[in-house]
């Protein structure tokens, strides 16, 4: 199998160029003011300009209003939106842009019902549940809760690091491994050595499956 890697929380053009050089397949830009990795629409547009055609640009939004989503689409022109909050299926689908739906793994969650409701073309990103925190928590959840077979892209997030991503790829077999804080030297600052190690470890683990 193969696995793609998404480096999320990119905050500058320089970081975007570094992550691409390291082999990232997708880059995530967080347009959510409460995040330590927040970039505004103008900064996101600057970063977008240095993202090459072989790398997908993903803009992460959390409970944004319609006007902000439309501004992101117009100014940043992302390949994918990522809805990481409490957005309804109708809200996510109205923009006619491919999107990733984040599912925070709370107790009692019905994964099949979520998948059926959102029909996210970009896939479903599974992240740890932390009340009042929408991603980027550094927490890991029980991977055994995930379905063994899916007909949609499965994106694994939540507490991944260069040290555990190989195990995650072997056990979960995700289509995409997503990391943010696990490759940082400080919030919002990606560490080049950690980024390279994460991508290398993920992709090497996928080869042997």
**Which is catalytic among the residues 25, 79, 92, 127?**
127
**Cα–Cα distance list, 175 to 57, 69, 138, 160 (Å):** 17, 26, 20, 15
**Which is catalytic among the residues 8, 25, 92, 178?**
8
Q: Which segments of 87-187 are extended strands (E)? A: 99-104, 123-127, 154-156, 176-179, 184-186
Return d(Cα 37, Cα 109) in angstroms, integer: 28
3-state SS assignment for residue 11? coil
Please say if 8 is a catalytic residue: yes
- DSSP conformation class of 6: E
Please say if 57 is a catalytic residue: no
CA 24 to chain centre: 12
Catalytic residues: 8, 127
């Amino acid at each position: 199998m193969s696995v793609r890697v998404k480096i999320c929380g990119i905050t500058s053009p320089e970081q975007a160029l570094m992550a691409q050089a390291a082999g990232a397949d997708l880059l995530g830009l967080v347009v959510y003011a409460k995040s330590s990795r927040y970039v505004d629409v103008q900064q996101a547009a600057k970063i977008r300009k240095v993202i090459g055609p072989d790398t997908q640009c993903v803009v992460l939004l959390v409970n944004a209003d319609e006007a902000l989503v439309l501004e992101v689409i117009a100014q940043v022109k992302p390949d994918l939106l990522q809805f990481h909050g409490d957005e309804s299926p109708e809200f996510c689908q109205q923009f006619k842009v491919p999107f990733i739906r984040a599912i925070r793994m709370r107790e009692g969650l019905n994964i099949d019902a979520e998948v059926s409701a959102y029909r996210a073309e970009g896939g479903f990103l599974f992240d740890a549940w932390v009340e009042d925190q929408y991603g980027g928590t550094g927490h890991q959840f029980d991977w055994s809760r995930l379905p063994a077979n899916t007909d949609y892209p499965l994106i694994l997030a939540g507490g991944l690091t260069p040290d555990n991503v190989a195990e995650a790829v072997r056990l979960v077999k995700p289509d995409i491994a997503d990391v943010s804080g696990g490759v940082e030297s400080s919030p919002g600052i990606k560490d080049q050595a950690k980024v390279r190690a994460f991508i290398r470890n993920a992709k090497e683990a996928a080869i042997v499956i």
